[in-house]
């Protein structure tokens, strides 16, 4: 941008060059955590800002903005015009637009509304710019050859606010009502702060505290809630553990009796008694142990089943945005692998920790009773084991994360390629597919091998230390036996050695507990990521009319999947009940996105979508979707019977209703011809049926649902002419009296439409009845012309071939 | 329709605006208001630069920027520099994960930044074993051009998440 352009409008109010610029511009962004919707007054007037303004910023605003101007809103940005991280401020008053950026020559640029003909956000890659267009223009497209000026650069963090600002500036420049336009800006600010700035989850209201970030103990209490239903079984198991633990302490003591009293004195009677006691001990230990193991297995499996159920259930209610960004493999891994890890850890915590603790205490008491000096000697390795465990924990934790990620990547390859095996075969891509899998599997192997070095080395070092400890006992204890056999008998030494080896069992357990704790913690975080993830928002649960009439309105709707490109811009449509609306446009124009917004797959758009005058976000989600029939281009069938596939989502329909639905959908005849008719079980994703047959089943589903509103997304795009006609008949029977939106490439399928919407580049460029649009000779007219020509050519070719 | 590829000195460029250039071909044809964009913004920074007109229609492709005369190459590079903001991370100050949200405090060639990534698998991509690309929750981009050139502490902090 030229200097001339930068300074052209800065002659109104200037900050003295050399004076300090925007506050804290070099501060790391981590310190800017106080993001919240700010409504602090400025000069006694309400001011909207996305961040709390620092005193120096307020001072600059005070100095720069004349007292007769009312500051309406402020956007604190994060980039300088030269793409450096630095604070910038857009301050919009009732008379001027002020841009503050330390990289500006005078630190401020000012525009009056009268000099701006159009304001828009130009999206670049990883950044965007508020651009003012100074010349008059006509038409829908911006002529970039005309004079336009980049005003302020910012990252996508504040892009949606700048969208609202651009809309406001342009509207005010065009003479629209400031208060009305301000309401739109306020809505954008509010929307920005309906998400938690820390975790990004939706808040119940703007500025409300985030439930997720409030409590750090939430994770523990969440996991504990899965254990509570089985607390009595687990407590009973704990009692059984006490018995088996006590029983396990008996054999070493019996060893002492056998070695010191029975064997040297030839007491055969005592021998039988000792063997009998040992037998009884073992029976108790292993018999009760078996019962305990069974009960633990049952309760453990129940816990993991509950957890899986919850994760799966939650996965059903997660918004599409979650699935857009999360690989299927990672979700499956969480439901299968991670829940198992959590289960085993929960059992360790609730059972083994207690058992091992009491075992440890019991052994120490017995050992102290036998010989306190030897007991102290046997404790020497303990500090090494404990310290080593902490070091091990720190070393191994990152590996567990990495291993999980590598495994998720492998799972993703599997979920991608196994269902797509037909494509792989068709393109003879088996070799490359195998190589790809090998590569990811190799990554997993390499990480796992690295981790194995630590996981295998550590226990062996621990064992070595422990063994060295027992050598000490042998050395010192043996000397005591040799020196004074009456006070310290060989039997006592044998017994002590046995207790020592038993003692290191719990020590080892606690040393390794950190390892399983780390694994479990990672698994818990990942599972909680789903369980705690924000579900599809349904703030209006239970609120809905009895039945929808089918009036649909889009009001100033803007939407983007990611912030780098707008998918839909400024959509305004009104569809009356019973209207049959055709949506046409080139591929990628945004037709399906319109339907997806109406389906409430995505709720994070600007503007409003109303059905029967109610914002669809203020209507019960379940009710709303139950009122809609959606027939997609690639209908999804499940591995189930045709009957159940038609009845999908419908509670206990009558058989005749299913048959009627199939009949309306022109599906009954082909179903009846199948050997197993309605009981025919389809393969995964409906294999075994042709595309047209699957489509007719999906129409039958929609018929059975009896919806108020119907959406068809290229329903006849991938079928032959004959099947298209069958489907078309079915559609025409289905849409009678219902509001219908049909996306179609083949314009012939829109012959019943009374309204046409032409979408191009995310904008509506034409709308009206087919006749009106034909008379207008615009884009729709061109599409009709092209298609008619193409049809004629095809017809001629077919006739030639026939001849 | 054959695609027009630009090599060597086949065309002269003049800077029109922040991200726009005018192009005059050796045969006299002139194209105005073209926006250079990378066809491979992640894997090929210098190669295959498409030139789009204001309607988004491609007018030509520069095969390799390195083959252009210095003056022309500089013009295109300046436009690309304006268009693409991918700060290069030079140091990892802190890296922590809580409730599935990874927060990385970094020093970049554009200043300090805080990167927040909710979905690590989607948000962090390791390429060619040394280059790391980040995409944060707001779709801002960052990169570590060569992870081996990071200091030891930074490397240790980020390694867990790669």
Model confidence at A5: pLDDT above 70: no
Cα–Cα nearest to A572, from A425, A410, A767:
A767
State the complex-level ipTM.
Answer: 0.90
Lowest mean pLDDT among A31-35, A346-350, A511-515, B102-106: A31-35
Q: What does the angle CA A567 – CA A568 – CA A570 come to, to the nearest 5 degrees?
A: 150
Chain-chain contact of B99 with A532 (C-beta, under 8 angstroms) = yes
Cα–Cα nearest to A634, from A726, A697, A567, A720:
A697
Determine the average pLDDT of the residues in A397-419: 81
Interface of B with A in 78-97 (CB under 8 A): 81-87, 93-94, 97
Q: Residue A8's CB: how many other CB atoms inside 10 A?
A: 15
Q: Which alpha helices (DSSP H) does A91-210 contain, by range?
A: 159-173, 178-192
User: Best residue in A77, A78, A124 to probe B by mutation, most B CBs within 10 Å?
Assistant: A124
Per-residue model confidence (pLDDT) at position A691: 81
Classify domain A218-531 by CATH number: 1.20.1560.10
Tokens of A456: 């295998």
Asked if A193 contacts A208 with a C-beta cutoff of 8 angstroms, the reply is no
Tell me the shortest Cα–Cα distance from B91 to chain A, in angstroms: 13
CA distance A555 to A42: 32
| B33–chain A Cβ distance below 8 A for any pair | yes
Per-residue model confidence (pLDDT) at position B128: 77
CA distance A506 to A501: 10
Per-residue model confidence (pLDDT) at position A219: 62
Model confidence at A789: pLDDT above 80: no
| A156–chain B Cβ distance below 8 A for any pair | yes
Model confidence at B74: pLDDT above 90: yes
At A33, the pLDDT band (50, 70, 90 cuts) reads very low
Tell me the shortest Cα–Cα distance from A406 to chain B, in angstroms: 9
Chain B partners of A127 at a C-beta cutoff of 8 Å? Answer: 85, 140
pLDDT single digits (tens) A76-100: 999 998 889 999 999 999 889 999 9
Chain-chain contact of A150 with B122 (C-beta, under 8 angstroms) = no
Lowest mean pLDDT among A204-208, A376-380, A496-500: A204-208
Of B33, B86, B119, the CB nearest to A144: B33
Chain A partners of B116 at a C-beta cutoff of 8 Å? Answer: 200
Per-residue model confidence (pLDDT) at position B71: 94
Determine the average pLDDT of the residues in A403-414: 82
User: Best residue in A83, A413, A521 to probe B by mutation, most B CBs within 10 Å?
Assistant: A83
Could you give the percent of chain B with pLDDT greater than 70?
Answer: 97
pLDDT single digits (tens) A463-489: 788 778 778 888 888 888 888 877 788
A543-627+709-721+738-803 fold = Rossmann fold (3.40.50)
**A125 → chain B, closest CA residue:** B84
Q: Residue A171's CB: how many other CB atoms inside 10 A?
A: 19
Per-residue model confidence (pLDDT) at position B94: 92
Cα–Cα nearest to A699, from A754, A756, A673, A738:
A738
At B56, the pLDDT band (50, 70, 90 cuts) reads confident
Model confidence at A107: pLDDT above 90: no
Could you give the percent of chain A with pLDDT greater than 90?
Answer: 6
Tell me the shortest Cα–Cα distance from A25 to chain B, in angstroms: 10
Per-residue model confidence (pLDDT) at position B64: 93
CA distance A698 to A719: 14
At A795, the pLDDT band (50, 70, 90 cuts) reads low
At A394, the pLDDT band (50, 70, 90 cuts) reads confident
Chain-chain contact of B113 with A29 (C-beta, under 8 angstroms) = yes
Tokens of A141: 């497209």
pLDDT single digits (tens) B5-49: 999 889 999 998 888 999 999 888 999 989 999 988 877 788 899
| B51–chain A Cβ distance below 8 A for any pair | no
Contacts of A301 (CB under 8 A, 6+ apart): A343
Per-residue model confidence (pLDDT) at position B62: 94
Interface of B with A in 57-76 (CB under 8 A): none
Alpha-carbon distances, residue A192 vs A45, A164, A176, A197, A260 (angstroms): 22, 11, 24, 9, 81
**Domain limits of chain A?**
3-192, 218-531, 543-627+709-721+738-803, 634-706
Collect contacts of A59-62 with beta carbons under 8 A, ≥24 apart: A60/A15, A60/A21, A60/A22, A60/A100, A60/A108, A61/A89, A61/A91, A61/A98
Per-residue model confidence (pLDDT) at position A23: 56
Chain B partners of A26 at a C-beta cutoff of 8 Å? Answer: 111-112
| B114–chain A Cβ distance below 8 A for any pair | yes
User: Best residue in A22, A85, A410 to probe B by mutation, most B CBs within 10 Å?
Assistant: A85
| B121–chain A Cβ distance below 8 A for any pair | yes
Reduce the DSSP state of residue A98 to 3 states and report it. strand
Cα–Cα nearest to A84, from B151, B82, B156:
B82
**A412 → chain B, closest CA residue:** B121
| A586–chain B Cβ distance below 8 A for any pair | no
At A17, the pLDDT band (50, 70, 90 cuts) reads very low
Cα–Cα nearest to A120, from A107, A101, A111, A133:
A133
Tell me the shortest Cα–Cα distance from A438 to chain B, in angstroms: 16
pLDDT single digits (tens) B149-160: 999 999 988 887
Per-residue model confidence (pLDDT) at position A520: 75
pTM, entire model: 0.63
| B160–chain A Cβ distance below 8 A for any pair | yes
Q: Judge whether A543-627+709-721+738-803 and A634-706 match in fold.
A: yes
pLDDT single digits (tens) A234-274: 889 888 988 988 888 888 888 888 888 888 888 888 889 88
Q: What does the angle CA A460 – CA A464 – CA A466 come to, to the nearest 5 degrees?
A: 115
Paired with A647 in beta bridges are none
Name the DSSP letter for residue A38. Answer: B
CA distance A729 to A664: 9
- Which is the CATH superfamily of the domain at A634-706? P-loop containing nucleotide triphosphate hydrolases (3.40.50.300)
* Sheet containing B11-15: order of strands: B5-6, B58-64, B47-52, B30-38, B21-25, B11-15
**Half-sphere exposure of residue A688, counting CA atoms within 13 Å on the CB side?**
20
Could you give the percent of chain B with pLDDT greater than 90?
Answer: 52
Contacts of A678 (CB under 8 A, 6+ apart): A641, A642, A643, A658, A659, A662, A671
Chain mean pLDDT for chain A: 79
Determine the average pLDDT of the residues in A96-117: 87
CA distance A279 to A161: 78
Collect contacts of A258-267 with beta carbons under 8 A, ≥24 apart: A258/A491, A259/A489, A259/A490, A259/A491, A259/A494, A259/A495, A260/A489, A260/A490, A260/A491, A260/A492, A261/A491
Q: What does the angle CA A292 – CA A297 – CA A299 come to, to the nearest 5 degrees?
A: 95
Q: Give buried/exposed letters for A483-517 (b at 16+ CB in 10 A, else e).
A: eeeeebbbbbbbbbbbbbbbbbebbbbbbbbbbbe
Reduce the DSSP state of residue A76 to 3 states and report it. strand
| B146–chain A Cβ distance below 8 A for any pair | no
Chain-chain contact of A529 with B17 (C-beta, under 8 angstroms) = no
Q: What does the angle CA A75 – CA A76 – CA A78 come to, to the nearest 5 degrees?
A: 130
């Amino acid at each position: 941008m030229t200097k001339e352009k930068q300074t052209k409008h800065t002659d109104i109010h200037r900050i003295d060059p050399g004076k300090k610029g925007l506050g804290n511009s070099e501060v790391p962004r981590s310190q800017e955590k106080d993001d919240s919707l700010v409504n602090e007054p400025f000069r006694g007037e309400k001011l909207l800002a996305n961040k709390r303004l620092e005193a120096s910023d307020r001072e600059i605003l005070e100095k720069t903005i004349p007292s007769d101007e009312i500051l309406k809103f402020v956007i604190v940005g994060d980039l300088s015009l030269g793409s450096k991280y630095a604070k910038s401020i857009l301050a919009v008053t009732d008379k001027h637009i002020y841009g503050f950026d330390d990289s500006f020559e005078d630190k401020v640029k000012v525009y009056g509304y009268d000099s701006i003909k159009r304001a828009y956000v130009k999206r670049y890659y990883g950044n965007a710019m508020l651009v003012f267009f100074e010349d008059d223009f006509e038409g829908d497209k911006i002529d970039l050859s005309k004079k336009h000026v980049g005003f302020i650069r910012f990252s996508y963090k504040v892009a949606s606010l700048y969208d609202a600002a651009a809309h406001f500036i342009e509207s005010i420049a065009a003479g629209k009502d400031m208060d009305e336009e301000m309401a739109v800006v306020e809505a954008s600010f509010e929307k920005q702060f309906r998400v938690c700035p820390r975790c990004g989850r939706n808040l119940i209201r703007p500025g409300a505290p985030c439930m997720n970030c409030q409590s750090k103990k939430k994770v523990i209490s969440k996991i504990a809630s899965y254990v509570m239903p089985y607390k009595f079984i687990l407590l009973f198991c704990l009692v059984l553990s006490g018995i088996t633990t006590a029983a396990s302490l008996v054999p070493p003591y019996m060893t002492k009796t056998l070695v010191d009293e029975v064997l040297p004195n030839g007491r055969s009677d005592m021998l039988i008694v000792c063997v009998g006691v040992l037998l009884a001990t073992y029976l108790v230990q292993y018999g009760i142990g078996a019962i305990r193991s069974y009960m633990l297995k049952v309760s453990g499996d129940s816990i993991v089943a509950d957890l899986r159920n919850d994760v799966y259930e939650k996965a059903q209610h997660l918004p599409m945005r979650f699935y857009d960004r999360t690989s299927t493999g990672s979700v499956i891994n969480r439901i299968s692998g991670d829940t198992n890890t959590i289960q085993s850890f929960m059992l360790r915590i609730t059972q083994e920790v207690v058992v091992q603790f009491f075992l440890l205490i019991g052994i120490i008491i017995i050992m102290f009773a036998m010989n306190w000096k030897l007991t102290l000697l046997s404790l020497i390795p303990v500090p090494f084991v404990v310290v080593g465990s902490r070091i091990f924990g720190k070393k191994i934790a990152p590996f567990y994360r990495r291993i999980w990620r590598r495994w998720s990547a492998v799972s993703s390859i599997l979920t991608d390629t196994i269902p797509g095996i037909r494509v792989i075969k068709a393109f003879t891509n088996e070799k490359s597919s195998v190589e790809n899998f090998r590569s990811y599997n190799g990554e997993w192997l390499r990480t796992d091998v690295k981790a194995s070095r630590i996981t295998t080395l550590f226990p062996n070092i621990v064992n070595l230390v422990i063994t060295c400890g027992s050598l000490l006992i042998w050395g010192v204890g043996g000397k005591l036996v040799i020196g004074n056999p009456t006070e310290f008998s060989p039997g006592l030494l044998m017994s002590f050695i046995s207790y020592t080896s038993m003692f290191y069992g719990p020590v080892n357990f606690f040393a390794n507990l950190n390892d399983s704790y780390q694994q479990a913690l990672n698994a818990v975080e990942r599972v909680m990521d789903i369980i705690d993830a924000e579900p599809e928002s349904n703030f209006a649960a239970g609120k809905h009319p009895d039945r929808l009439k089918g009036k649909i309105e889009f009001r100033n709707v803007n939407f983007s999947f990611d912030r780098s490109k707008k998918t839909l811009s400024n959509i305004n449509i009104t569809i009356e009940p019973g209207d049959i609306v055709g949506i046409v446009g080139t591929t990628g124009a945004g037709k399906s996105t319109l339907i997806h917004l109406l389906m409430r797959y995505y709720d994070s758009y600007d503007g409003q979508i109303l059905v029967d005058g109610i914002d669809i976000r203020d209507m019960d989600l379940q009710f709303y979707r139950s009122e809609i029939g959606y027939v997609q281009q690639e209908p999804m069938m499940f591995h189930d019977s045709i009957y159940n596939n038609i009845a999908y989502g419908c509670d206990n329909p009558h058989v005749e209703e299913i048959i009627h639905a199939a009949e309306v959908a022109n599906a009954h005849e082909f179903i009846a011809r199948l050997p197993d008719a309605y009981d025919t079980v389809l393969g995964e994703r409906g294999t075994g049926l042709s595309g047209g047959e699957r489509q007719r089943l999906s129409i039958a589903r929609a018929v059975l649902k009896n919806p108020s509103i119907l959406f068809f997304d290229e329903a006849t795009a991938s079928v032959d002419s004959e099947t298209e006609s069958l489907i078309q008949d079915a559609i025409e029977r289905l849409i009678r009296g219902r509001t219908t939106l049909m996306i179609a490439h083949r314009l012939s399928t829109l012959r019943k439409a009374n309204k046409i919407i032409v979408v191009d580049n995310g904008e509506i460029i034409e709308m009206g009845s087919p006749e009106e649009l034909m008379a207008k000779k615009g884009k729709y007219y061109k599409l009709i012309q092209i298609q008619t020509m193409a049809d004629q050519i095809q017809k001629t070719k077919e006739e030639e071939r026939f001849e | 329709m054959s695609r027009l590829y630009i090599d060597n000195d086949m065309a002269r460029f003049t800077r029109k605006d922040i991200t726009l250039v005018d192009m005059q071909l050796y045969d006299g044809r002139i194209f105005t208001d073209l926006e250079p964009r990378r066809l491979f913004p992640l894997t090929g920074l210098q190669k295959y630069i498409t030139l789009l007109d204001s309607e988004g229609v491609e007018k030509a492709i520069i095969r390799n920027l390195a083959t252009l005369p210095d003056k022309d190459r500089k013009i295109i590079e300046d436009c690309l520099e304006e268009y693409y903001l991918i700060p290069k991370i030079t140091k990892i100050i802190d890296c922590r994960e809580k409730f599935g949200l990874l927060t990385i405090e970094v020093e970049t060639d554009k200043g300090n930044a805080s990167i927040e990534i909710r979905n690590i698998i989607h948000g962090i991509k390791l390429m060619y074993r040394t280059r790391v690309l980040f995409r944060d929750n707001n779709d801002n981009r960052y990169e570590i051009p060569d992870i081996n050139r990071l200091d030891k502490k930074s490397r240790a902090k980020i390694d867990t998440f790669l």
